[in-house]
A = this chain, B = another copy of it.
Amino acid sequence: MHNKMNLPDFRDVDGAYERLKDRVVRTPLLRADALDAAVGRPVFVKAECLQKTGSFKYRGASNRVLQLTDAQRKTGVVAFSSGNHAQGMAAAAAEAKVPVVIIMPKDAPAVKIEGVRDCGAQIVLYDRYHESREEIGARMAAERNAVLVSSYDDPMIIAGQGSAGIEAAQQLQEFGVVAEALITNAGGGGLTAGLALAWEELCPIAKIYTAEPDDFDDHKRSFAAGERQSNASLAGSACDALLTPEPGHLTFTINKTRVCAGLSASDEEAFAAMRFAFRHLKIVLEPGGAIALACALQKRVPGNGPLCVFATGGNVEPALFAKVLGAA
């Protein structure tokens, strides 16, 4: 990190990979003949829903917590999140015995709030329509002299998420495959940035795409415009994990020169992808974890060579999942 903006680079991602490799699940790259047939190309699904806490977020959170100073370990950390970063931070902090306060929207899925509570974290709920989680987070961190950990705009978070990209590149190499493209779900763009840094070094030929819900396609529009664009709304999609206001500052700086384009899919297409993953991959995906797979199944990713799809989270309410299955 030898630049003014404190941008992470490949060495940081590789360092995170080494730091995390005995702590994280080396999630499999899943294959299914039916998937290849449906998409019309070889598809490799990096099943990060199988990661500890049910999403890739545990990677960045652990990488951040493991690099706290001794003083910071005592005063602890504060994080705000719709749920997956929250669970990742809560679990990483619990393992490191670091105090943690998690700020979550009142309407976050109950399964995510319970997951955070089960880790013993202190939870503060807020109203996502009338309160600013950024303000609450800044205030609570100041009160406690704690470290406020962004869910994406933090070099150590980005580097930690990127460890999944190193794994995927290694696994594709074991399969003897050179990927033509990678697509990942994007909220704030932290995973995208980590993957982009990893693959720039390990698989530079591959084109990187982001996937977002149709009406929350801030990355897609930002890449097209060349500068950060905001979403019109902060609610209104089943993809709760992806409803960030706009791409991050650090993440967009990294992604704008490394991501080929943004793609999007509807909630209904995400539900269809969840059914497909249930039927053919035997993994549980939440809507926001299935948008990249939805884009793949809708054949929106250009090209016909090997495609790596990141399936990023599986923290979904049983009632919603049952409803999605029933709608088949």
Contacts and interface: CB of A to CB of B under 8 A. Distances in A.
Contact of A283 (B33, B284, B323): B284
Contact of A326 (B31, B47, B50, B322): B322
Contacts of A32: 52
Interface stretch (A69-77, A126-134, A251-259, A274-282): A274-282
A282 B25 contact: no
Contacts of A321: 278, 322, 325
A237 to B, nearest CB: 21
Contacts of A314: 282
- Chain A contact residues, majority secondary structure: helix
Interface residues of A, number: 38
A30 B25 contact: yes
Interface in A28-86: 28, 30-34, 47, 49-50, 52, 54
A236 interface: no
Contacts of A52: 31-33
Copies of this protein chain in the complex: 2
Given A25-B30, A28-B27, A282 B49 contact: yes
A318 B323 CA distance: 10
B318 A54 contact: no
Contacts of A28: 25-28, 50
Contacts of A214: none
A22 B176 CA distance: 10
A20 to B, nearest CB: 14
A182 interface: no
A118 interface: yes
A111 interface: yes
A278 B318 contact: yes
A5 interface: no
A323 to B, nearest CB: 8
A65 B316 CA distance: 39
A54 B282 CA distance: 7
Contact of A284 (B22, B54, B284, B323): B284
A225 interface: no
Contacts of A328: 318
B34 A118 contact: yes
A278 B282 contact: no
Interface in A273-320: 275, 278-285, 314, 318-319
Listed from nearest, the 8 A-B pairs whose CB atoms lie closest are A282-B314, A322-B322, A318-B325, A282-B284, A49-B282, A322-B325, A28-B28, A322-B326
Given A34-B118, A282-B284, A319-B326, 14 more contacts: A25-B28, A25-B30, A27-B28, A30-B50, A47-B50, A50-B282, A111-B279, A278-B284, A282-B283, A283-B283, A283-B284, A318-B325, A318-B328, A322-B322
7 contacts: A32-B52, A33-B52, A33-B119, A50-B281, A279-B318, A282-B314, A318-B326
